[in-house]
Amino acid sequence: MYVVTGITGQVGAIVAQTLLDAGLPVRAVVRNAEKGAIWAAKGCEIAIADILDADALAAAFGGAEGVFLLMPPNYDPEPGFPQTAQIIAVVTSAVETAQPGKLLFLSTVGAHVAEPMLLNNSRMMEEALRALPIPVCFLRAAWFMDNAKWDLASAREGTIPSFLQPLDHPIPMVATSDIGRTAASLLRETWGGTRIVELEGPRRYCANDIASAFAAALGHPVATEPVPHDSWEALFRAQGMNNPTLRIRMLDGFNEGWVDFEGGSAEHRTGTVTLDTVIETLVAQ
């Protein structure tokens, strides 16, 4: 039995569907029966559990050969990441109780970096999971190509405001479809201790590449315009953020190159889906 959290999201759905397509049993962890109905119809066992309910999570993880763990996104955490710390305490308690065969955590590129920034939540989770008495794997995924969906409306108008700068600076990116398939494959593998797998797409992409892909998909010119750095904090606060510094430092890390893969003993894998394919799909939806 393979347990999948975050199954109602893009990556979790791909993990579950890939396992089901391989004829493997899947237990979908959802917050209520309504969210699980579509997966029950696909043949999944359903476990009702909230990420902050240790007993329910332990029951969901019980008897599992492998668990796919995905943290709920929090783009505006409070200082010190108290919400993340709470989730970590609950998840580690549940895993220690349930003792699944192995655990795969969807982490991120830059999770090893100590500089205070938005990606520290994954760093904190990794540190806690390392202490668990079961095999754990951190799948450190690159910048999601699918984030380009937030640029679609601007691209239709002809100009995309970009926080990725310089506009010709390439960063590691990967498609969510590649992440989900890789995670499903890793869950079927065997290892001991702690394992780190880095994942990016077939090549690196810059802001100008995003504009070019949109231009090809939309059939009209699309330009990219850098958003002035000194306007970021006011802009993010106007959008409702209370603590924008962590997001700004994350973007700085990608732009300055210190948010990248750790390398060393980590495994490195390359996906097959291109940015052009992802953006063609976004435009067609």
Task: Quote the pLDDT of residue 114.
Answer: 95
How far CA 38 is from CA of 45, 182, 233, in Å, comes to 11, 23, 40
What residues contact residue 20 under an 8 Å CB cut-off, 6+ apart?
26, 42, 43, 44
What pLDDT band is residue 168 in, cutting at 50, 70 and 90?
very high
pLDDT digits 0-9 by tens, 37-59: 999 999 999 999 999 999 999 99
Task: Quote the pLDDT of residue 229.
Answer: 98
- Mean pLDDT on 234-249: 96
Task: Quote the pLDDT of residue 174.
Answer: 98
pLDDT digits 0-9 by tens, 74-96: 999 999 999 999 999 999 999 99
- Mean pLDDT on 202-215: 98
- Mean pLDDT on 107-128: 97
What pLDDT band is residue 183 in, cutting at 50, 70 and 90?
very high
Task: Quote the pLDDT of residue 120.
Answer: 96
What pLDDT band is residue 203 in, cutting at 50, 70 and 90?
very high
Task: Quote the pLDDT of residue 253.
Answer: 98
pLDDT digits 0-9 by tens, 255-275: 999 999 999 999 999 999 999
Checking if the pLDDT of 215 tops 90, the result is yes
Domains of the chain, CATH where assigned: 2-284 (3.40.50.720)
- Mean pLDDT on 107-129: 97
Nearest Cα residue to 163 out of 231, 98, 99, 104:
231
Structure tokens at 230: 């000194």
117: alpha, beta or left? (left if phi > 0; alpha if psi -120 to 50): beta
Q: Which residues of 20-31 are buried (b: 16+ CB within 10 A; e: fewer)?
A: beeebebbbbbe
Task: Quote the pLDDT of residue 162.
Answer: 98
What pLDDT band is residue 33 in, cutting at 50, 70 and 90?
confident
Distance CA 91, CA 69 (A): 9
Distance CA 126, CA 136 (A): 9
For 105, the enclosing helix (H) or strand (E) is: strand 103-108
Rounded to 5 degrees, φ, ψ at 66 are: -155, 150
Evaluate whether 168 touches 210 at the Cβ level (below 8 Å).
Answer: no
- Mean pLDDT on 120-145: 97
- Mean pLDDT on 203-217: 98
Compute the mean pLDDT over every residue in the chain, rounded to the nearest whole number: 97
